[in-house]
Structure 1
Amino acid sequence: MSAFTMPLPALLHTGHATISASYDSSEPYAVTFGFDVVQPGLEWAVSRELLADALIYGTAGQGDLKVTVRGDLVVLGLSNPNGTGTVVLRRDDIDTLVAHAHRIVAPGCESQFLDWSDTTEFPGVAL
């Protein structure tokens, strides 16, 4: 199992801050952004494929999460029943994050890193 956490400079509604981005091969599809500067323990899981697609196509996602690349910046538009928020990050930082996650778990190989023996998460499913 491999994991990493990296600090990311960000622009939030409260101003400039440093948030965290974490990746763990035990959760191979997700990158978790930590917003302790806003509220301790506040996290938002984002599909690493969604981030990669936005870097390639300029935009990805809909509904609760939309990722838009604008020049050297990546804008995360987040929403849930409690409200909405926008996070602006550096494109180079997101590119580095996605590339590092892809070195740990290559795209298309994610299922090899999942623990399929734990059927308690999916009641009624037998392996």
Structure 2
Amino acid sequence: MSAFTLQLPALLGDGHATISASYDASEPYAITFGFDAVQPGLEWAISRELLSDALIYGAAGVGEVKVTARGDLVVLGLSNPDGTGAVVLRRDDVAALVAKTHQMVRPGCESRFLDWSDTAEFPGVAL
């Protein structure tokens, strides 16, 4: 298995909803959260290291994405020029999600899973 999607219960500004969390080993650094309950097609890619750091240290991130883990909850603070929002998740769900990604791609081994054959995506890089 090189990819998976989980459905997670969440508390959003409008109340309870289910969001998706997807991970693909070909994009090993990011977990993509889908917020169809808010707006169809709305997605945020969040660093799995950022989520992991927040679980360990209590908070991580600056700028557009801030993650705070306190007690049984994890809060994703998201912002962009169009607005801001917060998503509250169960800490156990986030920990299980991050652990599952680490089983697929161990931390520090991400570059082994990247496809470097298309250098057009990486200007200035020659193989």
Residue type of the alignment partner of 2:115: D
Residue type of the alignment partner of 2:122: F
Could you give the per-residue CA deviations for residues 41-98 of structure 1, whole angstroms, max 9, x where no partner exists? 1000000000000000000001101000110000000000000000000000000000
Number of aligned positions between the proteins: 127
Residue type of the alignment partner of 1:2: S
SS in 2 for 1:52: helix
Partner residue, 1:121: 121
Could you give the per-residue CA deviations for residues 13-62 of structure 1, whole angstroms, max 9, x where no partner exists? 01000000000000000000000111111000000000000000000001
Partner residue, 1:105: 105
RMSD: 0.8
Within 2, Cα distance between the matches of 1:123 and 1:9?
A: 40
Q: Does 1:33 align with 2:33?
A: yes
Q: Which runs of 5+ in 2 are unaligned?
A: none
Within 2, Cα distance between the matches of 1:18 and 1:74?
A: 15
**Pairwise mapping of residues 1-127 of structure 1 onto structure 2 (< 5 A)?**
2-127=2-127
Residue type of the alignment partner of 2:7: P
Within 2, Cα distance between the matches of 1:13 and 1:45?
A: 20
TM normalised by structure 2 equals: 0.98
Within 1, Cα distance between the matches of 2:102 and 2:57?
A: 18
Query: How far did 1:126 drift?
Result: 1.2
SS in 1 for 2:61: strand
Query: How far did 1:123 drift?
Result: 2.6
Residue type of the alignment partner of 2:117: S
Within 2, Cα distance between the matches of 1:57 and 1:70?
A: 10
Q: Which runs of 5+ in 1 are unaligned?
A: none
Moved over 3 A (4+): none
* % identity of equivalent residues: 80
